[in-house]
Structure 1
Amino acid sequence: MHLDPRIYAVRKDIADIELADRVFAPHYAAAEALRVIVPSVALRDGPSADARAVSQLAFGEDFAVIDNEGGWAWGYGLHDHYVGYLPFAALGEAAEPDHVVTAAAALVFAAADIKAPVVRTLPVGSRFAATAEGEFFKTADGFVHRRHAAPIADVAADPVAVAEQLIGQPYRWGGRGGDGVDCSGLVQLALAACGIAAPRDSDQQRELGSDIATGEALRRGDLVFFPGHVGLMADAETLVHANAHWMAVVREPLADVVARLSVDHEQPVIARRRILA
């Protein structure tokens, strides 16, 4: 049976025990769930810092470890089941998170004072346990201002507004907000903030929502797919997307994107999907 290796933890030598009824492997292992304890970490396609990044996990996100060898953990992120390798040292035990970073980045102060030293910076989507203390959330590592985070239960209503907060952030292959973001990472982040679970890659995201009929006008929140690319519509004519052309998250006319891609693609737009009712 062929299983997509991006979302099924199967290697020649080992597989997730949850797949024992579908694939043969010399060895099966049960996943051990750990949390990311660094601000962000790249998920790679091999156990090496030189291996290509395929995704990224932020502080407080969960990772299911299937194998751990040579300082590299192999497994998948529990939020999207995306498989890869990351340094085992980036994982550990942490309290169950109940708050999430909603700004492009959140400063963690040593005290509940904006003039206090900054202990670390957490990227958008980072999760942490906290209690309210005045204008701050008190965490195990320091204090995060209320303007930068919110309880996980407080989901946003507009994924485009979430994406627009990241305008200007550099394009980074495999990025999900930690020092950069790629096209599908931006969409995944924006939808997650609104309580909508989305897969990691743009081809997988084409299964979200429903098709928009040919000739029907686009509207805010619609997804437009191109060969190997995806973006969110801010309105009927404007796309918000992370792209390698500008090497940044930008807002630009959809017509400009289509014209640019028409040089190499006979069909620049390959799908239009509506996520929000």
Structure 2
Amino acid sequence: MVRRSGFNETELPPLFTDAALLDPRTTLARPGLAEQALEGCVEAEAYRAPTAMHGVVAVADIHISQDAGSERIDQLLFGEAFDVLDRAGGRVWGRARRDGLVGWIDAAALSEGAPLPTHRIASVSADLPFNALVVADNDDVAAHLMPIGTFEADPVSVAERLLGVPHQPGARSSQATDCSGLVQQALYACGLAGPRFADQQAGLGEGVARDQARRGDLVVWPHATGDQAWTGHSALMLDAQRVIHATGHHGAVVIENLAEAEARYRADGFDAPVFRRIAA
């Protein structure tokens, strides 16, 4: 499960109320400051060009506010770019370029520039997390690396390699993940679009009927916001009867019968599942 980035549609900052197409979770703007590319699109007191930086630790948490104890909403993996727009108290505010999420991260986890990676980590047992991005000379290429532009064929097979990985809200790596983080990383490995949030993932591909669902299809249980912050729960169909997903109920990435998972999520107030077929 993934929480919204602190915004309720009835409580959006004024700059977003007339810009329905701008999702505050992925728009690098706040009252008083916005990225230069948004001048004329959102109202702000100042516009700046972001500074490109990149992650230099295995996994760095991205939080909803400057307070490092605030809600974790995403993570930055080693080598991923982070576009910085503001700095305060050893923290920086900006956007993770790979999945587009806006938030705060420790400045010490970043270094200047955004080097073009040559390879990604293709093993779940390497020192760096799966899907981390690296620059490797030919002499450095190891078995756990896959060249950028070379993709895997089956998101479900990728997800199966992450069985047993602990479930943690806001996480999205092979060290720990939430439901949409698991789906995102499986899609990334196959060269497919992988938005961060369950409600965004529910818009991927084309809708399919429940009785037509098959291996590789995405299933999302939406959750109305209201007083709740959850946007839904994402899973991948393992076959016509089972899903693979990261779930707080089991505390890890597990395989579960679809009917059992659905009964639990419906009992918890989630909507009926949406089934989406994502073409490779």
Same fold (TM over 0.5): yes
State the shift of 1:267 in Å.
4.1
CA distance in 1, matches of 2:263, 2:101: 33
| Superposed CA offset, 1:3-29 (max 9, x none) | 321010111121111111111111111
Please say if 1:209 is aligned against 2:215: no
Q: Which amino acid aligns with 2:276?
A: R
Contact conserved, 1:61 with 1:77, CA < 8 A, in 2? yes
| Superposed CA offset, 1:107-128 (max 9, x none) | xxxxxxxxxxxxxx21111110
Please say if 1:192 is aligned against 2:200: no
Contact conserved, 1:9 with 1:75, CA < 8 A, in 2? yes
State the shift of 1:71 in Å.
1.3
Contact conserved, 1:159 with 1:221, CA < 8 A, in 2? yes
Please say if 1:254 is aligned against 2:258: yes
Aligned to 2:43: 24
Q: Which runs of 5+ in 1 are unaligned?
A: 107-120, 138-144
Contact conserved, 1:221 with 1:276, CA < 8 A, in 2? no
Aligned to 1:114: none
Aligned to 1:112: none
Aligned to 1:78: 97
| Superposed CA offset, 1:159-212 (max 9, x none) | 111111111000011111153001111111111111112211000111100010
Contact conserved, 1:72 with 1:85, CA < 8 A, in 2? yes
State the shift of 1:273 in Å.
0.5
Residue-pair matches, total: 251
Aligned to 1:109: none
**What stretches of structure 1 move > 6 A for 4+ residues in a row?**
none
Higher relative contact order (CA 8 A, sep 6+): 2
Q: Secondary structure at the match of 1:122?
A: coil
Aligned to 2:73: 54
Aligned to 2:277: 274
Q: Pick closer, same or farther for the CA change 1:267–1:32 going to 2, 3 Å.
A: closer
**TM-score normalised by length of structure 2:** 0.85
Aligned to 1:41: 60
**Which of 230, 234, 238 is matched with 2:238 structurally?**
234
State the shift of 1:266 in Å.
7.3
Q: Which amino acid aligns with 1:224?
A: V
**Which of 104, 119, 141 is matched with 2:124 structurally?**
104
Aligned to 1:142: none
Contact conserved, 1:29 with 1:66, CA < 8 A, in 2? yes
Contact conserved, 1:29 with 1:67, CA < 8 A, in 2? no
Please say if 1:180 is aligned against 2:186: no
Contact conserved, 1:40 with 1:178, CA < 8 A, in 2? no
CA distance in 1, matches of 2:206, 2:69: 39
Aligned to 1:162: 158
Aligned to 2:227: none
CA distance in 1, matches of 2:96, 2:267: 37
Q: Which amino acid aligns with 1:221?
A: G
**Which of 57, 60, 67 is matched with 2:86 structurally?**
67
Q: Which amino acid aligns with 1:127?
A: L
Q: Which amino acid aligns with 1:184?
A: S
Q: Pick closer, same or farther for the CA change 1:266–1:209 going to 2, 3 Å.
A: closer
Contact conserved, 1:223 with 1:272, CA < 8 A, in 2? yes
Q: Which amino acid aligns with 1:149?
A: L
Larger radius of gyration: 1
Q: Which amino acid aligns with 2:212?
A: A
Contact conserved, 1:223 with 1:232, CA < 8 A, in 2? yes
**Which of 121, 129, 145 is matched with 2:135 structurally?**
129
